[in-house]
């Protein structure tokens, strides 16, 4: 009874004071490390916005088990050194119980030693397989591994009896990791890579690489990159009149890609997409359908733009954490073991089932193969 009164008083004083008030004992602090500006801002910005949205929503509903949340978010600008400094600051000065982020694989790898030493759980929003393979005690991540997306494409190609592949990957971390995974899985599955071309993240014309590929005549082209490169490539392919099937990575699974490349040029492009981009075409029985729709609409309402798969990574992280707090408790160790015990948690990127050996918890079902049809995504069966 007494406790409830105290909580009620706290709530009242919060509503009375317009300035945000933090109660050392009354809030759970969640740290956020996102590349809000800089080259990886397409990841960090939706992640930050999503976390802010979720914290606000949760607090409006009265917090978790009656305890309010507080998000402390820093911009790492995609710089690993800065990420390490800011992680230390989150732990030592802000005394957060858990950290969401960083946005990129490089930063996440740099921050891991810090959180392992300070014993603070980290839920990374980066896709690199190294982050959770091998599993580290305090480190989790929400995006599915790159190799899951690569495997999805290659499985689909097997079903279409396509044997020779031309790779065209971007020369940044995302492209390099995709190239590595594609080559490894392709050789396992008996594909032949006949061309292995790259392009720079800021390149504006890839006709040279594509002309070379056109001369080799592969069964399929796989392009691995994030906008705007893949959109330029899609236009170049149309210009050169190449009819070879084109596969893209999950990195362009947003409407922005179709808009940039133009619906006509993008027609027929296939890619593994996170479920957020295609929830409209799901059957009603799909367990994720409702959640995806809610997130997309809430995000649109708050920020006026479509929610992206990348923001979804922060959503997953938040859901894993709040689920752990609800079930186990709010100390760093309790959050950690709570996340590790997650089973069949329905979220944005997929359905998470963690174990001490698997700190990612997603499988091939995290992606759906889609094809661009008339300026929209259509599920491939």
Partner 1 sequence: MQFDQLLQYVLSGLSTGAIYALIGIGFSIIYNATGIINFAQGEFVMLGGMLTLLFLDSCKLPLWAAIPCAIAVSTASGMLFERLAIRPLRQPTPINLVIITIGGSILIRGLSMLLWGKDTHAIPPFSGEEPIAVGGATILPQHIWILGITLLIIAANKFYFYHTISGKAMRACAYNRRAAGLVGIDVRRMVLFSFIISSAMGSVAGIIVAPLTMTAYDVGVMLGLKGFCAAIIGGMSSGGATVVGGLILGILESLGAGLISSGYKDAIAFIILLLILFIRPQGLFGKAQSERV
Nearest to 273 by CA among 310, 300, 306, 232: 310
188, 239, 343, 355: residue in contact with partner 1 (rule CB under 8 A): 239
14, 172, 228, 346: residue in contact with partner 1 (rule CB under 8 A): 228
CB of 164 to partner 1, least distance (A): 17
CB of 100 to partner 1, least distance (A): 21
CA distance 252 to 300: 19
Torsion, Cα of 43, 49, 51, 57 (10° steps) = -150
Torsion, Cα of 270, 234, 168, 195 (10° steps) = 90
CA distance 146 to 185: 11
Our finding on whether 52 is near partner 1 (CB under 8 A) is no
Our finding on whether 300 is near partner 1 (CB under 8 A) is no
| Alpha-carbon separation of residue 69 from 59, 123, 265, 348 (angstroms) | 6, 17, 46, 21
Q: Which is nearer to partner 1, 98 or 232 (CB)?
A: 232
Which alpha helices (DSSP H) does 93-190 contain, by range?
105-118, 146-159, 173-188
Size of residue set near partner 1 by CB under 8 A: 36
Segment 91 to 120, residues that bind partner 1, using CB under 8 A? none
Cα dihedral 112, 115, 120, 126 sign: negative
Segment 255 to 284, residues that bind partner 1, using CB under 8 A? 256, 259-262, 264-265
Nearest to 258 by CA among 279, 227, 281, 237: 227
CB under 8 A: which stretch of 40-48, 51-59, 294-302, 361-369 binds partner 1? Answer: 40-48
DSSP 319-339: HHHHHHHHHT-SSHHHHHHHH
30, 32, 34, 45: residue in contact with partner 1 (rule CB under 8 A): 45
* Cα angle: 159, vertex 164, 169; to 5 degrees: 105
116, 203, 267, 306: residue in contact with partner 1 (rule CB under 8 A): 203
CB of 202 to partner 1, least distance (A): 4
3-state secondary structure 238-287: HHHCCCCCEEECHHHCCHHHHHHHCHHHHCCCEEEEEHHHHHHHCCCCCC
Q: Which is nearer to partner 1, 82 or 235 (CB)?
A: 235
CA distance 302 to 291: 16
User: 10 Å Cβ neighbour count for 45?
Assistant: 21
Our finding on whether 304 is near partner 1 (CB under 8 A) is no
Q: Which is nearer to partner 1, 7 or 240 (CB)?
A: 240
Segment 148 to 177, residues that bind partner 1, using CB under 8 A? 171
Our finding on whether 200 is near partner 1 (CB under 8 A) is yes
Segment 123 to 142, residues that bind partner 1, using CB under 8 A? none
The residues with which 33 forms a beta bridge, in sequence order, are 74
CB of 35 to partner 1, least distance (A): 11
CB of 94 to partner 1, least distance (A): 26
CB under 8 A: which stretch of 18-26, 110-118, 233-241, 243-251 binds partner 1? Answer: 233-241
59, 85, 162, 207: residue in contact with partner 1 (rule CB under 8 A): 207
Binding residues for partner 1, rule: CB under 8 A, are 37, 41-42, 45, 171, 197-200, 202-205, 207-209, 211-212, 214-215, 227-228, 231-232, 235, 238-241, 256, 259-262, 264-265
């Amino acid at each position: 009874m007494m406790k409830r009164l105290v909580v009620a008083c706290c709530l009242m004083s919060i509503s009375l004071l317009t300035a945000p008030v933090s109660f050392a004992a009354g809030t759970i602090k969640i740290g956020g490390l996102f590349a809000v500006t800089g080259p990886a801002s397409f990841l960090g910005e939706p992640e930050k916005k999503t976390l802010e949205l979720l914290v606000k929503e949760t607090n409006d509903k009265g917090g978790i088990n009656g305890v309010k949340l507080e998000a402390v978010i820093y911009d790492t600008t995609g710089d690993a050194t800065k990420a390490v400094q800011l992680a230390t600051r989150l732990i030592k000065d802000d005394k957060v119980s858990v950290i969401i982020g960083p946005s990129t694989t490089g930063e996440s790898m740099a921050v891991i030693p810090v959180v392992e030493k300070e014993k603070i759980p980290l839920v990374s929003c980066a896709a690199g397989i190294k982050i959770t393979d091998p599993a580290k005690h305090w480190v989790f991540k929400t995006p599915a591994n790159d190799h899951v997306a690569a495997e999805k494409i290659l499985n689909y190609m097997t079903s279409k009896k396509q044997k020779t592949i031309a790779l065209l990957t971007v020369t940044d971390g995302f492209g390099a990791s995709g190239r590595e995974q594609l080559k490894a899985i392709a050789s396992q599955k008996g594909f032949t890579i006949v061309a292995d071309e790259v392009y720079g993240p800021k390149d504006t014309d890839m006709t040279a690489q594509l002309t070379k590929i056109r001369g080799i005549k592969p069964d399929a082209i796989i392009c691995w990159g994030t906008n705007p490169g893949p959109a330029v490539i899609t236009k170049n392919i149309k210009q050169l009149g190449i009819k070879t099937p084109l596969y893209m990575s999950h990195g362009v699974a947003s409407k922005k890609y179709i808009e940039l490349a133009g619906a006509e040029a993008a027609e027929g492009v296939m890619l593994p997409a996170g479920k957020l981009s295609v929830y409209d075409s799901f059957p009603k029985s799909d367990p994720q359908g409702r959640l995806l729709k809610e997130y997309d609409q809430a995000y649109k309402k708050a920020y006026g733009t479509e929610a992206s798969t990348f923001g979804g990574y922060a959503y997953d992280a938040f859901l894993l954490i709040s689920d752990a707090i609800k079930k186990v408790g709010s100390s760093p160790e309790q959050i950690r073991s709570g996340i590790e015990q997650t089973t069949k948690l329905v979220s944005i990127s997929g359905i998470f089932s963690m174990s001490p050996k698997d700190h990612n918890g997603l499988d091939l079902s995290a992606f759906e193969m889609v094809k661009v049809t008339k300026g929209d995504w259509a599920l491939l069966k």
